[in-house]
Chains A and B, each alone.
Chain A
Amino acid sequence: NAGVTQTPKFQVLKTGQSMTLQCAQDMNHEYMSWYRQDPGMGLRLIHYSVGAGITDQGEVPNGYNVSRSTTEDFPLRLLSAAPSQTSVYFCASSFPGGVPGTEAFFGQGTRLTVV
């Protein structure tokens, strides 16, 4: 079972470059989300989607774009990378509801460094 697949696992960017973090899930989950995890800050929600064609902002959306053209894919785009975006990024998916039985499954993470 593939679950949630994130690519790349590691990336170094120069300030001002753009890139797309890929996320795909094969569990037919409607709900997908992107988090960033920084030391001492915990996981913070960047953007989320409750289904194909529907996206919304989370707690820290600035500097990031998302789209959801299919149920399976939810890419995260960094428009113009900044050192403050150095972080570990996790994609997650689940069935809607957020209740017991609808656990969130996470990808393995992307470690991004912006220099």
Chain B
Amino acid sequence: RKEVEQDPGPFNVPEGATVAFNCTYSNSASQSFFWYRQDCRKEPKLLMSVYSSGNEDGRFTAQLNRASQYISLLIRDSKLSDSATYLCVVNPYGGSQGNLIFGKGTKLSVKP
């Protein structure tokens, strides 16, 4: 089983749609979780951290279910500018190592 698994998509949605991405991780001791965004031919950039209680940033909501080892990202009212690849990222160790394990990414394409 891969350490971090995501549906690769692509997700093709119209503007204004709500879209949800899911991610599972294999290491139950994982410490922290993130969603990164990567535009075509660009570097990954942090979209948001994922907290145990769930957190929201504007149109974006992230949820964590430690019991099921499952992370989700919900995007409401999709914009054309949301088109990108969304990377689920896990730090399985915490502490000072800070090694990040990346999922392969889910590609989102928002159409007019």
Contacts and interface: CB of A to CB of B under 8 A. Distances in A.
A and B bind = yes
Interface of A: 31, 33, 35, 40-45, 48, 50, 58, 90, 92, 94-104, 106-109
A97 B45 contact: no
Contact of B104 (A42, A92, A98): A42
B23 to A, nearest CB: 12
B90 to A, nearest CB: 9
B105 A102 contact: no
A106 B45 contact: yes
| Chain B CB within 10 Å, residue with most, of A58, A95, A96 | A96
A98 B102 contact: no
B44 A98 contact: no
Contacts of A109: 42-43
Q: Which 8 A-B pairs have the closest CB atoms?
A: A98-B98, A98-B91, A100-B49, A42-B104, A106-B43, A43-B102, A103-B46, A96-B96
For chain A, what secondary structure do more than half of its interface residues adopt (helix, strand, loop), or is it mixed?
loop
B6 to A, nearest CB: 9
Given A104-B46, A108-B42, A97 B96 contact: yes
A48 B42 contact: no
B34 interface: yes
| Chain A CB within 10 Å, residue with most, of B45, B91, B99 | B99
A99 B43 contact: no
A41 to B, nearest CB: 7
Given A42-B102, A48-B99, A104-B100, A99 B46 contact: no
21 contacts: A31-B96, A33-B100, A35-B102, A42-B103, A43-B87, A43-B102, A48-B97, A50-B96, A58-B99, A96-B98, A97-B98, A98-B97, A99-B32, A100-B34, A103-B34, A104-B44, A104-B98, A104-B100, A106-B43, A106-B45, A109-B42
